[in-house]
Structure 1
Amino acid sequence: MSNKICLNCGHSLSDEFCSHCGQKSNTERITFHSLIKNDILGSIWHVETKFFQTIKNVLFRPGKTAMDYISGKRIRYNNFISLLLILFSFNVLGLHFYEKFAPQETLAQSSDIKAFFSKYSKTILFVIIPMLAINAYFLFKKVKLNIAEHFIIGTVSLLGILILFLLDDIVSLIGLWKPISMIFNIIDKIIFGLFILFPAITYWNAFKDSYSNPGLLWRVSTFYVLMGLEISIISFILYEIF
């Protein structure tokens, strides 16, 4: 293999991948078999596996996932910012279908709140992450992470919230079927509780080895108080000015 050169950049090959541009060394002529196996099935399997693996890790070990990414273990995960935009789009789509199929009396109960968050969802989305990062930077100084690294943890926390929102949209849609509406209303409340707790779960999971339980408890509690005040102020400003 050492005598081969990369067909993409012309550098010498000594391994499975070119050390200069990253292209695979095995770039034989494209056949129908290789097209199906490598280009179509291989690409779909790689993208889907990585996507769902990232979703699973964000949901079940969000803090550890963020800290792994910060420490340099990144190849196993989808880019968090790209995933954030994808999930945000799915949530907008889910809300659209819920509003399309839900009875008018159901929508009327929360129309003002839904209309407000639907209108300013992008603003709220991109303000929450810096707020999470700045608050965590001052509350968790012992771990010696910079603002950008706290930004990653905040992004993972928001990813988890968007995943739960998407699950909630699906549950709400299924719950429109009257025979099972009571069961899905209970599930909806459980998901809402998880949504509220998810930032706490993220930071607890990330920093449980750096602080005692009482130390984490007062920091996370203070974190929630600060976030509640900041979100209330931002929502009030948006509501009053716009």
Structure 2
Amino acid sequence: MNTKSCLNCGHSISDEFCPHCGQKADTARITPYSLIKNDILGSIWHVEAKFFQTLKDIIIRPGKTAMDYISGKRIRYNNFISLLLILFGFNVLGLHFYEKFAPQEDVAEFSDLRAFFSKYSKTILFIIIPVLGINAYFLFKRLKLNIAEHFIIATVSLLGILIIFLLDDIVSLIGLWKPVSGIFNIIDKIIFGLFILFPAITYWNAFKNLYSKSGLLWRVSVLYVLMGIESFTIIIILYKIF
């Protein structure tokens, strides 16, 4: 077996990475070619590929993505909390551009409501995680997942909602730029339906092989009822404060 010393810590290496510090074994002198190929293009491709792969998995198979992450299969995914903050920032930016380019009468019509949700959007969105997580912890207790693991599933559900919101922002902006009679209203309604259904899709996708269809259906239904009551109560309290 060929071994060599790690250029970073001096330990012996016989594999692709140093077992002591984790640096790659093929680290060599930097050349113009290696700088462009590995450090610039390689880094950009790695970050972008991982980012978009995570988004795709959250939309296509949210429950399985959450369960894979919980089970330890994490290297293919971006950190969910970091992704949450990034997507939230994109949504704020999307809303800003919509308000900037939308006709003033459309913006003014919902000015009070927009002001309320603009002020408390972080609270409202991030309250979804504990609301979903705690309710699901009791409804799906047979699975023996702890509260933190249920919070991961709830986080993936919120990530999906934020992706859908972002798509809605893009559709709204395109509709302002190039309005087509009726089509953007239809797309907007489809996106709104996905937003409402996404938590159900997440839990169904996560637990469809662990419960019967009827058992999963009533649990998800109760989850929605509880989530609706609790979210409505929180929004009313915040609105009274506002």
What TM bracket, shorter-length normalisation? over 0.9
Q: Structure 1: which 5+ residue stretches go unaligned?
A: none
Equivalence for 2:4: 4
CA 1:169–1:179 in 2, change beyond 3 Å: closer, same or farther?
Answer: closer
Give the structure-2-normalised TM-score.
0.97
Provide the identity percentage.
Answer: 81
SS in 1 for 2:18: coil
Give the Cα–Cα distance (whole angstroms) in 2 for the partners of residues 2 and 147 of structure 1. 47
Deviations 1:43-89 (A, max 9, x none): 11111111111000000100000000001110011111111100000
Letter of the 1:161 counterpart: I
Give the Cα–Cα distance (whole angstroms) in 2 for the partners of residues 151 and 181 of structure 1. 41
1:158-173, aligned counterparts within 5 Å? 158-173=158-173
Q: Which moved more, 1:73-82 or 1:117-126?
A: 117-126
Equivalence for 2:226: 226
1:55-70, aligned counterparts within 5 Å? 55-70=55-70
Deviations 1:13-69 (A, max 9, x none): 110111122110111100000000000110111111111110000001000000000
Q: CA RMSD in A?
A: 1.2
Letter of the 2:50 counterpart: K
Equivalence for 2:16: 16
Answering whether residue 87 of structure 2 is matched by residue 87 of structure 1, we say yes
Answering whether residue 115 of structure 2 is matched by residue 140 of structure 1, we say no
Contact 1:175 1:184 in 2 (8 A): yes
Give the Cα–Cα distance (whole angstroms) in 2 for the partners of residues 100 and 233 of structure 1. 32
Paired positions, count: 242
Give the structure-1-normalised TM-score.
0.97
Letter of the 1:141 counterpart: K
SS in 1 for 2:123: helix
Contact 1:142 1:210 in 2 (8 A): no
CA 1:179–1:167 in 2, change beyond 3 Å: closer, same or farther?
Answer: closer
1:54-203, aligned counterparts within 5 Å? 54-177=54-177, 179-203=179-203
Q: Which moved more, 1:197-206 or 1:230-239?
A: 230-239
Deviation at 1:127, TM superposition (A): 1.6
Q: Structure 2: which 5+ residue stretches go unaligned?
A: none
